[in-house]
């Protein structure tokens, strides 16, 4: 499967990394990495979190220096002492977390640090013209005079790209550029990338979203545990093969074995209606029931009411109509704490916003949401010993990779944070688990572990509401599937017969069958 790009007669590769090794105290981040990026192509670099992609790109961008190995730019051996050197050599980086000043205009953000001058003055006119020129040349559609704060995520990313182009970059490194984008924005970005490629620029594209990689890349290099394991052509691999290359073994499959569904309803929702802050109806008369031992999967394009549904169920948002019953109890107006104490576990979609406190220790995070219950508290006081002991248990049972329970949650990788959250939510023997995108941004190993925990809890009669954007996960993990569209449940499917294509068309409203 690995192929060598045809070299004969072609210009020198834009970037050639050979034998790159980088050691940090205690770890080897990169060992003997070899990558050849042909000029004028989109080259994808894929690998799991922690595979060494970011370190490698930092080396290429001059933020870190390799211990061994050689960088050749356009065939010429080069050494970068700082990003400034890399910029001079025509390499630009679009960071995953945008480096933009929100209160400044696009123009100010773009020219900062290399401003055109007229005397001591900043030459706004020249800057504006140059930005318009670049914007038009690559169809970036960026208005230099808007304030960045007003721009959407996709536009901000284009500003970042423009910033790099303004500095004369011929090779662009994009670090997980699609992580923050919605699907339409991803399409637009890919359009821009093709445009850039057509103009002869070279793009290094870091991602772990394999479908995207396959659709946009010309060459793919796979990294695993700090080294390059394969170079493949997107025409010759499937996303599954690619994933297996990344993981180094066969992939876990989301599937439920036999049905554990009982006829005892755990969550009964009737006519649930929620109105948004602007008066729009975001949830419109939702009714469904989840039984003990049942996983109800909700499919839908993001922004169709999933977040509001979860918030209404958790008591974060007050519904305008309808009832929510947990077991026999009407909890429509109950407080979030009461709901949690009544046995609802909650894995939020954005773990940094709702799931963990990054600047708190693991055991403190363990207490959150369980601060009124054993083993975290006794009476009005926290039971530190009990909380710590139980955190140790979660770390052990859920395989949370951490140096200890006293470290801050920010020291953990996303997957390990997520395992901690799942462990915490499972710890109080919940009767209902609301899981929003439980495996989003999590590496394959953690994903398999989280699935396994949900499966096991389901066998013990846990009811689960599963919301996910990963259709394979939904189909594999659900007993019942419903599609949400514009705040309504529009279709039900049997996960054993439905295909992702059918689901996809129902999610966009193309194939309405009701």
Partner 1 sequence: MTAGSSTGARHASPVRRARKIAPWVYFLIAVAAVLVLSAVRVLAGATDLTSSGTVQAALTAAVPLAMAALAGMWAERGGVVNIGLEGMMVLGTFGAGYAGYQWGPWAAVAFGLLLGVVGGLLHAVATVSFGVDHIISGVAINLLAPGAALFLSKLYFADAPGGGQKQSPRIADAPKVTVPGLSDVLGTVEGKHWFFVSDVAGVLRGLVTEVSLLTVLAALLIVWSGWVLWRTPFGLRLRSCGEAPTAAESLGVNVYRYKYLAVIASGGFAGLGGAFLAVSSGQFRDGQTGGRGFIGLAAMIFGNWRPGGLATGATLFGYTDALALRGSAAVHALLLLLGIALVVVAVVQYRSGHHVLSAVAAALGVLFGYWYFASDEVPAELVGAAPYVVTLLVLGLASQRLRPPRMAGEPYRKGQGK
- Helix, coil or strand: residue 140: coil
Nearer to partner 1, 127 or 213 (CB): 127
Cα–Cα distance list, 156 to 94, 104, 199, 451, 471 (Å): 11, 12, 22, 35, 29
What residues are paired with 44 via a beta bridge?
205, 220
Q: Is 358 in the site for partner 1 (CB under 8 A)?
A: no
Single out the residue of 10, 149, 199, 236 in contact with partner 1 (rule: CB under 8 A): 149
Is the CB of residue 331 less than 8 Å from the CB of residue 338? yes
> Is 160:95 a contact under the CB 8 Å cutoff?
yes
Bond prior to 203 in cis (omega within 30° of 0): no
| 60 near partner 1, judged by CB under 8 A | no
| Minimum gap (Å) between residue 180 Cβ and partner 1 | 12
Q: Which stretch binds partner 1 (CB under 8 A): 252-260, 323-331, 344-352, 498-506?
A: 344-352
- Does 354 participate in binding partner 1 (rule CB under 8 A)? yes
**Looking at 11, 75, 276, 404, which residue binds partner 1 (CB under 8 A)?**
276
Using CB under 8 A as the binding rule, whether residue 176 contacts partner 1 is answered as no
Q: What are phi and psi of 272, to 5 degrees?
A: -70, 120
By CB under 8 A, is residue 448 in contact with partner 1?
A: no
Spatial separation of the C-alpha atoms in residues 331 and 313, rounded to whole Å: 9
Structure tokens at 475: 């189909």
Residue among 108 and 425 whose Cβ is closer to partner 1: 108
Binder of partner 1 out of 6, 120, 253, 381 (CB under 8 A) = 120
Among 48, 108, 425, 479, binds partner 1 (CB under 8 A): 108
Q: Does 101 bind partner 1 (CB under 8 A)?
A: yes
Within 8 A by CB and 6+ apart from 76, the residues are none
How many other CB atoms are there within 10 angstroms of residue 52's CB atom?
A: 25
Residue 42 C-alpha from the chain's centroid: 21
Structure-block tokens of residue 20:
């790159």
152 forms part of the interface with partner 1 (CB under 8 A): yes
Q: Contact region for partner 1 (CB under 8 A) — 114-122, 380-388, 421-429, 495-503?
A: 114-122
Site string for partner 1, 418-437 (x = CB under 8 A): --------------------
302 binds partner 1 (CB under 8 A): yes
SS (H, E, C) 294-360: CEEEEECCCCCCHHHHHHHHHCCCCCCEEEEEECCEECCCCCHHHHHHCCEEEECCCHHHHHCCCCC
By the rule CB under 8 A, 117 interacts with partner 1: yes
Question: Residue from 25, 258, 353, 359 that binds partner 1 (CB under 8 A)?
Answer: 353
Shortest distance, position 383 Cβ to partner 1, whole Å: 30
- The answer for residues whose C-beta is within 8 angstroms of residue 127's C-beta and 6 or more apart is 107, 110, 111, 115, 116, 144
Which candidate, 205, 190, 171, 219, places its Cα nearest to that of 5? 219
Between residues 224 and 317, which has the closer beta carbon with respect to partner 1? 317
Q: Quick one: which of 115, 244, 392, 470 contacts partner 1 (CB under 8 A)?
A: 115
231 vs 304, beta carbon nearer partner 1:
304
Nearer to partner 1, 101 or 459 (CB): 101
Q: What is the DSSP string of 93-110?
A: EE-SS----TTSBHHHHH
The residue range among 18-26, 271-279, 365-373, 397-405 that interacts with partner 1, by the rule CB under 8 A, is 271-279
* Least distance CB 117 / partner 1 (angstroms): 6
How far is 331 from 310, CA to CA, in rounded Å? Answer: 14
Is beta strand 171-175 parallel, antiparallel or unpaired with respect to 91-94?
parallel
Comparison of 38 and 163: residue with beta carbon closer to partner 1: 163
Q: Does 97 bind partner 1 (CB under 8 A)?
A: yes
Question: Could you say which of 94, 100, 232, 269 contacts partner 1 (CB under 8 A)?
Answer: 100
Token pair in block for residue 292: 């003990």
- The nearer residue to partner 1, 156 or 224, going by C-beta atoms, is 156
Which lies closer to partner 1 via its Cβ, residue 104 or residue 334?
104
Per-residue exposure over 142-180, b if at least 16 CB sit within 10 Å of its own CB, e if not? bbbeeebeebeebbbbbbbbbbbbbbebbbbbbbbbbee
What whole-number distance in Å separates Cα of residue 185 and Cα of residue 153? 8
Nearer to partner 1, 94 or 475 (CB): 94
- 408 DSSP assignment: B
Among 10, 129, 199, 350, binds partner 1 (CB under 8 A): 350
Judged by CB under 8 A, does residue 111 bind partner 1?
yes
Name the residue with tokens 């230099």. Answer: 144
The answer to whether 320 contacts partner 1 (rule: CB under 8 A) is no
Residue 126 binding partner 1, by CB under 8 A: no
Q: Looking at 44-52, 103-111, 366-374, 407-415, which segment touches partner 1 (CB under 8 A)?
A: 103-111
Q: How many residues bind partner 1 (CB under 8 A)?
A: 43
- Per the CB < 8 A criterion, the answer to whether 2 and 231 are in contact is yes
Q: Closest distance between partner 1 and the C-beta of residue 38, in Å? A: 27
* Residues shown for the chain: 514
In the complex, minimum distance from the CB of residue 100 to partner 1, in angstroms, rounded to a whole number: 6
Residues of the shown chain interacting with partner 1 in the complex, contacts defined by CB under 8 A: 83-84, 87, 95, 97, 99-104, 108-109, 111-115, 117, 120-122, 147, 149-150, 152, 163, 276-278, 282, 302-303, 307-308, 311, 316-317, 348-350, 353-354
């Amino acid at each position: 499967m690995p192929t060598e790009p045809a070299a004969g007669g072609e210009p020198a590769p834009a970037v050639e990394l050979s034998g790159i090794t980088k050691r940090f105290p205690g770890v080897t981040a990169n060992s003997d990495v070899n990558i050849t990026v042909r000029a004028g192509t989109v080259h994808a670099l894929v690998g799991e979190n922690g595979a060494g992609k970011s370190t490698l790109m930092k080396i290429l961008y001059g933020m870190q220096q390799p211990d061994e190995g050689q960088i050749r730019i356009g065939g010429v051996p080069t050494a970068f002492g700082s990003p400034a050197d890399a910029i001079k050599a025509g390499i630009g980086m679009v960071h995953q977390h945008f480096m933009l000043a929100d209160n400044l205009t696009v123009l100010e953000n773009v020219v900062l640090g290399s401003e055109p001058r007229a005397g001591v003055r900043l030459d706004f006119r020249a800057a504006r013209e140059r930005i318009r020129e670049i914007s038009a040349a690559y169809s970036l559609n960026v208005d230099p005079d808007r304030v960045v704060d007003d721009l959407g995520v996709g536009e901000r990313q284009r500003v970042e790209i423009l910033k790099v182009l303004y500095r004369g970059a011929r090779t662009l490194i994009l670090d997980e550029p699609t992580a923050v984008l919605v699907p339409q924005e991803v399409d637009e970005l890919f359009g821009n990338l093709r445009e850039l490629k057509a103009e002869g620029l070279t793009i290094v594209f870091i991602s772990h979203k394999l479908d995207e990689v396959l659709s946009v890349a010309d060459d793919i290099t796979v990294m695993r545990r700090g080294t390059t394991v394969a170079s493949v052509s997107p025409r010759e691999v499937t996303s599954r093969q690619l994933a297996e290359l990344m993981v180094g073994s066969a992939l876990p499959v989301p599937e439920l074995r036999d049905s554990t569904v009982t006829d005892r309803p755990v969550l009964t929702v009737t006519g649930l209606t929620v109105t948004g802050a602007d008066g729009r109806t975001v949830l419109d008369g939702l009714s469904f029931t989840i039984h003990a031992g049942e996983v109800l999967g909700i499919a839908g394009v993001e922004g169709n009411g999933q977040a509001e549904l979860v918030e209404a169920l958790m008591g974060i948002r007050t519904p305008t109509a309808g009832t929510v019953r947990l077991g026999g109890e009407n909890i429509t107006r109950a407080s979030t704490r009461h709901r949690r104490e009544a046995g609802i576990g909650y894995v939020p979609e954005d773990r940094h916003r709702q799931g963990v406190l990054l600047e708190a220790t693991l055991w403190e995070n363990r207490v959150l949401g369980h601060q009124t219950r054993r083993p975290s508290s006794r009476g009005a006081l926290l039971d530190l010993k009990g909380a710590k002991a139980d955190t140790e248990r979660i770390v052990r049972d859920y395989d949370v990779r951490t140096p200890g329970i006293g470290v801050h949650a920010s020291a953990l990788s996303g997957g390990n944070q997520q395992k901690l959250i799942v462990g915490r939510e499972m710890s109080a023997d919940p009767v209902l688990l609301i899981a929003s995108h439980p495996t989003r941004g999590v590496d394959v190993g953690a994903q398999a572990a989280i699935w396994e925990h949900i499966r096991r809890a389901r066998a013990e009669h846990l009811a689960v509401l599963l919301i996910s954007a990963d259709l394979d996960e939904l189909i594999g993990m659900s007993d019942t599937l419903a599609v949400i569209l514009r705040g309504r449940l529009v279709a039900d499917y049997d996960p054993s017969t439905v295909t992702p294509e059918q689901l996809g068309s129902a999610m966009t409203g193309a194939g309405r069958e009701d």
